[in-house]
Chains A and B, each alone.
Chain A
């Protein structure tokens, strides 16, 4: 139902000869591919084989892990300009503001709901209270959370249910209006109902950004994704969506 013929898609991310090493172990082996704009690409495959690692290649979050090495070229098109995100000139915090990420377990910071969503704005140096309040509301609406929390924005975020926490984290990633959203098994810590809400949300978010997600659940992937690719033995193999 969400399928779009692949030939009409415009690439958003291109990967050339990407290899990734964890210690002496080759996690990704000379991968070259591209990911289409406003598509949901799902990466599936057995666990522990580097799917999450592949996601962190696009926001360079792996660089904090010791003993890890990468080679190859990764470019993302922001507007009409292709940027090599591993070029020395690349501004890392700015990159991560345009490439949002949501993790497997919800990770709200120990502060209020509103402060959590506003946090990235403050990091980016936005200070106008009016602007912050407006963007927080937009992000919470986009994450289907506004109606549930609008009366208790100052409540502690860790008091929310698991599904709400995860949507809060999605709202927090959305508040900077990222062009790419990386999701690392976003529903695996949630029950079916909460997972359903998030699946629905992802399909809506496609209009705003390009989504790469990692998932175990094949039925979920088939409901949501435009393209399914399997990571096996360090290579990507296309599967029917």
Chain B
């Protein structure tokens, strides 16, 4: 055996692994170094007293409070649009549909999952413009359009996690209720879904993370640089990732740039926490499934 090739492999692996770790550490370290100082209540509310801002007594102009609120509302709407549809489709795929149909549907979901988010955003944008021209002259890109487009973006994740969580249930548990006279839906709703719940929750958390971080979809479908707090489903709104993007290209002063760093740290923490949580739940589930598989 070639001793040199083995040595090179080991060295190469260490170099590559440490280089990538280093790159990520530098990127995040730089962000924290530059932005940690701006993490205070002024970052959120600017010169306005927090209580006044939260009670909507005064508008916040130089803090990121409107963007935080916008992201929260956006995530809430799009996830509540996508979750019921995604879970329903996942149940259909895992429990009702014949194998052939499952493959065909699965292919469409995979395509949707891989479609660049800017394409989905552009789809939302052009449909809105199209409707504006033809049926609904008062419709413009707005919070609702963004939420719907984001729902399309996360739909395949929800479907797939639901499907996989259901299909991972052992055959023994799966046929318990039917043997006792359960109809298919009784089996799904009373036995299988409760069992698959953790998996579905992990998919939902992932969807929340995706909605919170996505910039490409919303930048075409209604997010604006300064709209204040979200007021209506049919109006523009602010969002954290878009705020970061605008600051990076057109910051007016050092204060705004510092706010950009602060906002980036907040989004970073939010998303990494959500993603790790989702991974943690999934690895727990996998370990539980593996434990069961042993005799």
Direct chain A–B contact by Cβ atoms under 8 Å:
yes
Is B182 a contact of A93 with CB atoms below 8 Å? yes
- In chain B, positions 159-184 with a C-beta closer than 8 Å to chain A are 172-183
Q: Does B186 contact A (CB under 8 A)?
A: yes
Is B175 a contact of A172 with CB atoms below 8 Å? no
Is B179 a contact of A96 with CB atoms below 8 Å? yes
Write out, one digit per residue, whether chain A residues 102-137 have a CB within 8 A of any chain B CB (1) or not (0): 010101011000000001101110000000000000
CA distance A96 to B183 in the complex (A): 10
Residue in A64, A119, A124 whose CB lies within 8 Å of B178: A64
Q: Does B99 contact A (CB under 8 A)?
A: yes
- In chain A, positions 45-82 with a C-beta closer than 8 Å to chain B are 59, 61, 64, 66
Residue in B172, B173, B174, B177 whose CB lies within 8 Å of A123: B177
| B194 to chain A: closest residue by CB | A110
Question: Given the interface contacts A61-B179, A96-B178, does A123 sit within 8 Å of B99 by beta carbon?
Answer: no
Is A96 a contact of B175 with CB atoms below 8 Å? no
Is A109 a contact of B191 with CB atoms below 8 Å? yes
CA distance A173 to B177 in the complex (A): 10
Q: Does A94 contact B (CB under 8 A)?
A: yes
Chain A residues lying within 8 Å of B172, measured Cβ to Cβ, are 103, 105, 107
CA distance A205 to B181 in the complex (A): 20
Is B175 a contact of A120 with CB atoms below 8 Å? no
Q: Does A198 contact B (CB under 8 A)?
A: no
Is A93 a contact of B183 with CB atoms below 8 Å? yes
Is A176 a contact of B181 with CB atoms below 8 Å? yes
Residue in B99, B173, B178, B186 whose CB lies within 8 Å of A61: B178
Could you count the A-B residue pairs with CB atoms below 8 Å apart for me: how many are there?
59
**Number of residues in B with C-beta < 8 Å to the partner?**
18
CA distance A122 to B173 in the complex (A): 18
| B187 to chain A: closest residue by CB | A123
Q: Does B133 contact A (CB under 8 A)?
A: no
Chain A residues lying within 8 Å of B173, measured Cβ to Cβ, are 107, 109
Q: Does A97 contact B (CB under 8 A)?
A: yes
| B180 to chain A: closest residue by CB | A120
Chain B residues lying within 8 Å of A96, measured Cβ to Cβ, are 178-182
Q: Does B190 contact A (CB under 8 A)?
A: yes
Most chain B Cβ neighbours within 10 Å, of A95, A96, A100, A176 = A96
Question: Given the interface contacts A66-B99, A110-B195, A123-B186, does A61 sit within 8 Å of B180 by beta carbon?
Answer: no
CA distance A109 to B175 in the complex (A): 11
Chain B residues lying within 8 Å of A119, measured Cβ to Cβ, are 177, 180, 190
Q: List 20 A-B pairs, Cβ < 8 Å.
A: A59-B179, A61-B178, A64-B178, A93-B181, A93-B182, A96-B179, A96-B182, A97-B180, A97-B181, A100-B179, A101-B179, A107-B172, A107-B173, A109-B173, A110-B194, A110-B195, A119-B190, A120-B180, A123-B186, A176-B180
Closest 10 CB pairs of A and B: A97-B181, A96-B181, A120-B180, A101-B179, A93-B181, A107-B176, A123-B182, A93-B183, A107-B172, A123-B186
Binding site for B on A (CB under 8 A): 59, 61, 64, 66, 92-97, 100-101, 103, 105, 107, 109-110, 119-120, 122-124, 172-173, 176
